[in-house]
Amino acid sequence: MDDSPAPLPGAAFYTVADQRFFPGLVALLNSLRLTGHTEPLIVVDIGLSPGQRELLADHVTLVEPPSPDMPAVFLAPYGPRQCPAEVAVLIDADIIVTRPLTEITQAAGQGRIAAFVDCLPNSNRFHPEWETTLGLGPLHRRPYLNAGFLAYPHTLTDRLLPPWTQGQQTIGIAHSRYGSATLDDPFYFADQDVLNAVLSARFETGELLVLDHRLAPHPPFPGLTLADRHRLTCRYGDGTEPFLLHHVLAKPWLKATRDTLYSTLMTRLLLEPDVALPLDPPSLPLRLREGRAAALDRRRADAVTFVHDHGRRQLGRFGIRTRLARWRSRQAAR
Ligand SMILES: [Mn+2]
């Protein structure tokens, strides 16, 4: 780490994207700007198109991945390696920010690592093999955190990034959901399992800011309503406002998914004139555009995915979840 550049002052955001993730990346960018975040967004470019790079040129900093054969899921720590900042916020390109993250970046600036608890049942995930396989030392069992969002201070870089990247190299992806693994495999979630192991072994409870899952929910975003489309504000019945929406599994811009708050806000974030980087409607699937034809297409997609989700519940009842997990691991990038 001695030859690494001096950190940028303040916070910076880091993500990874290829050509297929471009709409998600732009939604993330526009959501950050609309919620008042003017900090740099640094993108590990794993295959954006020349036209996409041109559109992004005035808005983000692109960095190249270390080697073309490094699996995409292992590249999250690479942005801050290349372009460090006093506070690094790693954020997936399938996330939109719905409220200023200032409380979190301030906590990170004061020396803590911040992340959100993963969804049930993953929130209780723990495997003793994390300790034996990775050789990190004894693990303190804590809530299982989602790696889609991670804020940490530069001062903790040397304790966090080397064991995380080394652990990723140790496990590879063959035995994860990107290979042939099933959910009960200790490294099914690959980079995310390694991150949880590193945090459990190498950090004290007081060094972590563990945030509730409902502050960074996943589809279908239960209990949440859109309070202010203009400002992106979402709210639960008790008045709580989440920081972000994380669209895990199938992405609405790649596949017909259920109509959710995320897809509603995505349309707003990509097409309305007040955003930092508006896109051309024809570059998006019809269901993500505005107007009547788009609304019809959304209803059709919603009906189809309802049948699919219903079928999924039936599969679960007959105890063949593992087959589904295998199927999903082939289908979905996080
Ligand atoms: Mn994600």
pLDDT tens per residue, range 172-227: 877 788 888 888 899 999 899 999 999 999 999 999 999 999 999 999 999 999 99
* 332 or 19, higher pLDDT: 19
Look at residue 59 in the predicted model and tell me its pLDDT. 98
Mean pLDDT of 153-161: 97
Q: Distance from the CA of 147 to the center of ligand 1, in angstroms?
A: 8
Confidence band of 240 (pLDDT split at 50, 70, 90): very high
What CATH class is the domain 8-214?
alpha beta
Confidence band of 65 (pLDDT split at 50, 70, 90): very high
Q: Distance from the CA of 245 to the center of ligand 1, in angstroms?
A: 10
The predicted-structure confidence for 69-118, as pLDDT tens digits, reads as follows 788 888 999 999 999 999 999 999 999 999 999 999 999 999 999 999 99
Look at residue 316 in the predicted model and tell me its pLDDT. 41
Return the percentage of the chain with pLDDT > 70, whole number: 90
pLDDT at 305 over 80: no
The predicted-structure confidence for 209-219, as pLDDT tens digits, reads as follows 999 999 999 99
Q: Distance from the CA of 334 to the center of ligand 1, in angstroms?
A: 4
E strand intervals along 189-259: 208-211, 224-228, 233-236, 244-246
Q: How far apart are CA 77 and CA 80, in angstroms?
A: 6
Tell me which H or E stretch contains 315: helix 292-317
* 155 or 309, higher pLDDT: 155
Mean pLDDT of 151-169: 95
CA atoms within 13 A on the CB side of 255: 13
Return the percentage of the chain with pLDDT > 90, whole number: 76
Q: Distance from the CA of 92 to the center of ligand 1, in angstroms?
A: 5
The neighbourhood of ligand 1, an ion, using CB within 5 A, equals 92, 94, 148, 334
Strand partners, 233: 228
- How many other CB atoms are found less than 10 A from the CB of residue 174? 10
Q: Distance from the CA of 73 to the center of ligand 1, in angstroms?
A: 10
Mean pLDDT of 275-299: 93
Q: Distance from the CA of 3 to the center of ligand 1, in angstroms?
A: 31
pLDDT at 284 over 70: yes
Look at residue 328 in the predicted model and tell me its pLDDT. 57
Copy the structure tokens of residue 152. Answer: 């940490």
Spatial CA neighbour of 114 closest among 13, 209, 212: 209
E strand intervals along the chain: 8-17, 41-45, 61-63, 85-91, 95-97, 113-116, 149-153, 208-211, 224-228, 233-236, 244-246
Q: Distance from the CA of 31 to the center of ligand 1, in angstroms?
A: 16
Look at residue 174 in the predicted model and tell me its pLDDT. 75
Q: How far apart are CA 152 and CA 194, in angstroms?
A: 16
Q: Distance from the CA of 149 to the center of ligand 1, in angstroms?
A: 8
Q: Distance from the CA of 333 to the center of ligand 1, in angstroms?
A: 8
Q: Distance from the CA of 38 to the center of ligand 1, in angstroms?
A: 22
Q: How far apart are CA 180 and CA 175, in angstroms?
A: 6
Q: Distance from the CA of 146 to the center of ligand 1, in angstroms?
A: 9
Q: Are 115 and 150 in contact (CB under 8 A)?
A: yes
Q: Distance from the CA of 106 to the center of ligand 1, in angstroms?
A: 23
Q: Which residue has the tokens 């939604």?
A: 27
Residue ranges per domain, the chain? 8-214
Q: Distance from the CA of 93 to the center of ligand 1, in angstroms?
A: 7
Mean pLDDT of 49-72: 93
Look at residue 334 in the predicted model and tell me its pLDDT. 53
Mean pLDDT of the chain, nearest integer? 90
Long-range contacts of 309-318 (CB under 8 A, 24+ apart): 309/258
Confidence band of 1 (pLDDT split at 50, 70, 90): very low
Q: Are 330 and 249 in contact (CB under 8 A)?
A: no
pLDDT at 319 over 50: no
Mean pLDDT of 222-251: 97
Q: Distance from the CA of 301 to the center of ligand 1, in angstroms?
A: 21
Query: What pTM did the predictor assign?
Result: 0.90
Q: Distance from the CA of 25 to the center of ligand 1, in angstroms?
A: 11
Residue 182's contacts (CB-CB under 8 Å, 6 or more residues apart) are 188, 322, 325, 326, 329
Mean pLDDT of 161-168: 93
Look at residue 325 in the predicted model and tell me its pLDDT. 54
Q: Distance from the CA of 216 to the center of ligand 1, in angstroms?
A: 11
Copy the structure tokens of residue 165. Answer: 């990247």
Look at residue 307 in the predicted model and tell me its pLDDT. 63
Q: Distance from the CA of 248 to the center of ligand 1, in angstroms?
A: 5
pLDDT at 321 over 80: no
Mean pLDDT of 169-173: 84
pLDDT at 323 over 90: no
Q: Distance from the CA of 48 to the center of ligand 1, in angstroms?
A: 18
Look at residue 318 in the predicted model and tell me its pLDDT. 39
Q: How far apart are CA 174 and CA 265, in angstroms?
A: 35
142 burial type by CB count under 10 A (0-12 exposed, 13-18 middle, 19+ buried): middle
Mean pLDDT of 10-30: 97
Q: Distance from the CA of 2 to the center of ligand 1, in angstroms?
A: 31
Q: Distance from the CA of 27 to the center of ligand 1, in angstroms?
A: 13
Q: Distance from the CA of 122 to the center of ligand 1, in angstroms?
A: 14
Spatial CA neighbour of 208 closest among 220, 200, 217, 218: 200
Spatial CA neighbour of 216 closest among 123, 152, 330: 123
Q: Which residue has the tokens 């599994």?
A: 249
The amino acid at residue 162 is P
